[in-house]
Amino acid sequence: MGDELRPEAKATIENFAQAGIKLKIISGDNPHTVAALAKQAGFKGDIRVVSGLDLDKMDSAQIAKTAEETTVFGRITPQQKEMLVTTLRDNGHYVAMIGDGVNDVLSLKKAHIGIAMQSGSAATRGVADMVLLNDSFAALPRAFMEGQRILNGMDAITRLFLSRAFYAAMILLGAGLMVGAVNFPFIPKHASLLTLLSVGIPTLGIAAWARVGVPTRNLMRDMVHFILPSAMSIASVALAVYVIFFHLHVYPSEPHSLSTAINYARTALTTAIIFMGLILIIFVEPPVAFLTGGSALSGDWRPTISAGVMLLIYFLLVIIEPTRTFFELETLSLGDYALIMAIVLAWAIILRFIWRFNLIERFLGVKIKPANRVIYQS
């Protein structure tokens, strides 16, 4: 008599590894027997084995460390299963537990996701969040990877939209305080153009190209890490550009120069925000390690290319007379564009510095700690 592995077992375990999901086996059987089966199934490297008797002799700190480092747990009681799941959750992991017997009910209820076998007990299926038809694990890696793509895509899109919302509000407030509430820094047509080119169209591609990878567990902290410095810096730079170009084109001796200066300032501000918004897309999905800081390395050049395409579209809209007139944009000189680009380049360098050195986290006294997604099988 012996245990037979399912034909798809090795491929399934490899797919879990590719998705960044750690696998552990918690069993009531002999730990060394379970470890041998794990080797046959495709578990890589040295498999650390711990028995329930060993766990009983450990304190809470040792249990927390053992839960992290051990792959196979044998001779485990239902209470110990529940304890291991709780410990791993406390360590910041997102835990899925697979079980089929009544002794798995406690740990299934404690896990973030409880997964039951179709052939398992009614009690197990009753407390589970999902049931594996035909007791097959093969669908799980693909399901988890698709979930990762959705979450990562939502994360990137949310960063862009919230950054845009915050810096737009800050610009309106700041401009009202600086130059009076009558002269808004941009008109509705400018706002529509900004949204379309820097957020609207690019986010469609970001959603379609979202990558597989372990999503962050500290979503709010990551959002603060990215959005707060980007929104504040974009608003500050945009207002500075507005003021600079306003004063460059206003002439006290000419009564009509005020409206002209406002139009030029609005065009310069719109141009600067579009430049910064497109660079923000690159920071959200960094294609190379040098551009990381606000987000993890993506390695995908498509969002960067899409940002370049949006920049080209903006220049075409400015060059073509009917579209430039429709959006009420002024014709800037090459010197104006050079000045804006220099300011935006300095902004990008400073923003990367803020992210790289975690200045916001240091100021708030918090630390962003990435978490792994973990799945356990009984």
What pLDDT does 256 receive?
A: 59
User: What average pLDDT does range 122-126 have in this prediction?
Assistant: 90
Q: Please, is 278 exposed, middle or buried when counting C-beta atoms within 10 Å of its C-beta (0-12, 13-18, 19+)?
A: buried
What is the pLDDT at residue 108?
93
User: How far is residue 269's CA from residue 264's CA, in Å, rounded to a whole number?
Assistant: 8
**Structural domains for the chain:** 9-141 (3.40.50.1000), 143-364 (1.20.1110.10)
More confident residue, 187 or 166: 166
Q: Is 263 left (phi over 0), alpha (psi -120 to 50) or beta?
A: alpha
Residues 78 and 107 sit within 8 Å (Cβ to Cβ): yes
The distance from CA 72 to its chain's CA centroid, rounded to whole angstroms, is 31
pLDDT in tens, 215-228: 777 777 788 889 99
pLDDT score of 76: 92
Tokens describing residue 270: 């719109």
Angle made by CA atoms 320, 203, 93, in degrees to the nearest 5? 160
C-alpha distances (whole Å) from 231 to each of 19, 162, 168, 169, 270 are 32, 8, 8, 9, 15
Q: For residue 96, give the 3-state DSSP assignment.
A: strand
**Is the pLDDT reported for residue 363 higher than 80?**
no
The string of pLDDT tens digits covering residues 58-105 is 998 999 999 999 999 999 999 999 999 999 999 888 899 999 889 899
Q: How far apart are CA 140 and CA 143, in angstroms?
A: 5
Residue 179 has pLDDT above 70, yes or no: no
Q: Is 375 helix (H, G, I), strand (E, B) or coil?
A: strand
What is the pLDDT confidence band of residue 47, given thresholds at 50, 70 and 90? confident
* Each residue's pLDDT tens digit, 278-287: 999 999 999 9
Pick the residue with more confidence: 256 or 244? Answer: 244
With contact defined as beta carbons under 8 Å apart, do 5 and 37 qualify? Answer: yes
* Between 283 and 137, the higher pLDDT residue: 283
Residues 5-17: pLDDT tens digits? 777 778 888 888 8
Alpha-carbon distance of 33 to 31, in angstroms, equals 5
Which distant-in-sequence residues (6+ apart) come within 8 Å of 227 by Cβ? 159, 162, 163, 166
Other CB atoms within a 10 A radius of the CB of residue 99 amount to 27
User: For residues 207 and 156, what is the distance between their CA atoms, to the nearest angstrom?
Assistant: 8
Q: Which residue has the higher pLDDT, 313 or 29?
A: 313
Tokens 């564009």: give the residue.
337
